[in-house]
Structure 1
């Protein structure tokens, strides 16, 4: 078994909660402050390859957790989205699975809570329809059953005909006034871009008497 002699220990200038361990063979090991407290080291100590690997693995997990916390501090994220971002940052599957499970246990990651908040913001603020909502939601890779349930619930709370009527009011459409072809096409395209099904659009047009 090869042992590696520590020749220098210093606190990281960039990250105050980390120590940098220098070995006689010019290799370097980064260690979190917590790991250093649990495994005190001093110049002259010898560490085996397995000791170094264990400390390095712990450091990688520590960094993965810190990266996840930073990402969640900006906004809520789905499990799949957070996992993807951690992959992009170079963490491996084992590290990501550990961190994700840890955050789920703490309820910092919860797809249902994320989905509810995401959908509410999109529908309440932007008044979008189910086509647009589903398109935006699919990017966060929520389980399909959960997505369907949340979409159904949000349009129970914010009925589609009322959302379409909101857009008609906002565009100053007058009830029982037939639009010319140009204005009708422009309105049709706008509501389609907002993510409403054509059947729903026609139904509201009929209620308003603008067909």
Structure 2
């Protein structure tokens, strides 16, 4: 996309409709896109209101889709999901609602299989190094520390 081009409000609106229709977006991404398109603040506000009214932009729907996708594909834990949503300026109420999209049974099954799979691949001979590598891996992905340390005690006595 050529960002030095100038857009009329209608052109920008059409582009943003396509942008939002392609995949769920949050307000921050849309605002950034409009800013990159060099739209003036009044036009940005007008376009965002249009996208909200026509349901192209829905923060709750975005948060839910984000949580489902990152959990299922990247196997992120709730801590990481929460952090990433906060980085996208999603409010805490919506984050709480979105995290309910993850079934508890799926959550623990995913955590256990992820931990066990990673444990199998760790080559370190030193027990302490094994523990650290597994902990770092799981904590980076946003799994709760109590889960991580309980699992490490289970796998590496």
Scaled by the length of structure 2, the TM-score of the pair is 0.79
Indicate the residue corresponding to 1:66 in structure 2: 14
Contact conserved, 1:128 with 1:195, CA < 8 A, in 2? yes
1:70-109 deviations in Å (ceiling 9; x for gaps): 4225422112220121012111221112111111121111
Between the two proteins, the alignment pairs up a number of residues equal to: 147
Indicate the residue corresponding to 1:122 in structure 2: 70
User: Structure 2 matches for 1:77-116, cutoff 5 A?
Assistant: 77-116=25-64
Indicate the residue corresponding to 1:170 in structure 2: 117
What is the rounded CA distance, in whole Å, between the counterparts of 1:102 and 1:124 in structure 2?
32
Superposed CA RMSD in Å reads: 2.4
Task: Give the drift of 1:148.
Answer: 2.1
Report which stretch shifted further, 123-132 or 162-171.
162-171
Instruction: Say if 1:99 and 1:157 are closer, same or farther in 2 by CA, change over 3 A.
Output: farther
Gaps of 5+ in 1: 1-29, 31-58, 174-178
Contact conserved, 2:9 with 2:47, CA < 8 A, in 1? yes
Gaps of 5+ in 2: 1-5, 121-125
Higher helix share: 2
Task: Give the drift of 1:133.
Answer: 1.2
Task: Give the drift of 1:66.
Answer: 2.5
Contact conserved, 1:60 with 1:95, CA < 8 A, in 2? no
Task: Give the drift of 1:209.
Answer: 5.3
Higher strand share: 1
Contact conserved, 1:64 with 1:95, CA < 8 A, in 2? no
Aligned pair 1:210/2:129, yes or no? no
Structure with higher Rg: it is 1
What is the rounded CA distance, in whole Å, between the counterparts of 1:102 and 1:171 in structure 2?
46
Contact conserved, 1:127 with 1:163, CA < 8 A, in 2? yes
Bigger relative contact order (CA 8 A; separation at least 6):
2
Secondary structure at the aligned position of 1:71 is classed as helix
Indicate the residue corresponding to 2:91 in structure 1: 143
